[in-house]
Amino acid sequence: MSAGKLPPERHRNDIYGDLDAPAEGATPAVPAATVVLLRDAPGLEVLMLHKTSQVAFGGMWVFPGGRVDPGDAQDAADEVEAARRAAARETLEETGLVAAPDEFVWFSFWVPPPSTPRRFATWFFAAPAAGHRVSVDGGEIQDHAWLAPADALSRHAAGEIDLAPPTWVTLHHLSRLDSTAAALARLQAGEPRRYATRLGKRADGARVAMWHGDAGYDAHDPDADGARHRLVMSTSGFVFENTVMEY
């Protein structure tokens, strides 16, 4: 796994772009899909890929995945089936691992705010890894690692790796589980969660991603008093705050 401190400005996570960007004329979100591959070693680990800096999400550590291509949607029953196919195809292309889309557990769907320069509306799936011998091409994907979710979060907090907010939140929830079976059971237990992200900045300057149920969601006001369902993205690290959803 490649190491080294990130420049301080990268740790703000400004993937969502300019807070003042108008919603009108926002770039339409491209359908995409990703799959969280799980294994026990013996504790729970997830497969993370390091993107090269020249592509979307460049420099970040991500789960296998990418955009939904027209071929993925051909004869698909619905957009979720097309997303499953895309996640499986991208996994094979990026890692050399064969994944069975019918076995994927769909657990969340993420839509970035209009300010995001490159917008991807992304289905998140989870599945047990069918193999552990990963092969990356050194091009679009320059490195990989099997990481305990808590370890990935610690490295992010230390400024060693960069994570997009949906990746960070997913790892946060998985960090409370200790096995593949426990993770899949928890993710299958409820309806997939939908995160239509709204962005704001607190009075102290911290950028905040808010989701449905947060007191500041409707007004894009992270300083509003009340319920919390958000990720605070300060330069000192990320903090997930939740008083409204059971995870």
Tell me the pLDDT tens digit for each residue of 46-66.
999 998 765 555 678 999 999
Q: What is the mean pLDDT of residues 110-118?
A: 90
Whether 75 shows a pLDDT value over 90: the answer reads yes
Residue 53: the pLDDT is 60
pTM passes above 0.95: no
- Structure confidence at residue 10 as a pLDDT band (50, 70, 90): very low
Whether 4 shows a pLDDT value over 60: the answer reads no
Residue 193: the pLDDT is 96
Residue 83: the pLDDT is 98
Q: What is the mean pLDDT of residues 201-227?
A: 95
- Structure confidence at residue 213 as a pLDDT band (50, 70, 90): very high
Whether 115 shows a pLDDT value over 50: the answer reads yes
pLDDT in tens, 131-183: 778 998 777 888 999 999 999 999 999 988 999 999 999 999 999 999 999 99
User: With helix as H, strand as E and coil as C, how does the chain read?
Assistant: CCCCCCCHHHHHCCCCCCCCCCCCCCCCCEEEEEEEEEEECCCEEEEEEEECCCCCCCCCEECCEEECCHHHHCCCCCHHHHHHHHHHHHHHHHHCCCCCHHHCEEEEEEECCCCCCCCEEEEEEEEECCCCCCCCCCCCEEEEEEECHHHHHHHHHCCCCCCCHHHHHHHHHHCCCCCHHHHHHHHHCCCCEEEECEEEECCCCCEEEECCCCCCCCCCCCCCCCCCEEEEEECCEEEEEECCCCC
- Mean per-residue pLDDT of the chain: 89
Whether 102 shows a pLDDT value over 70: the answer reads yes
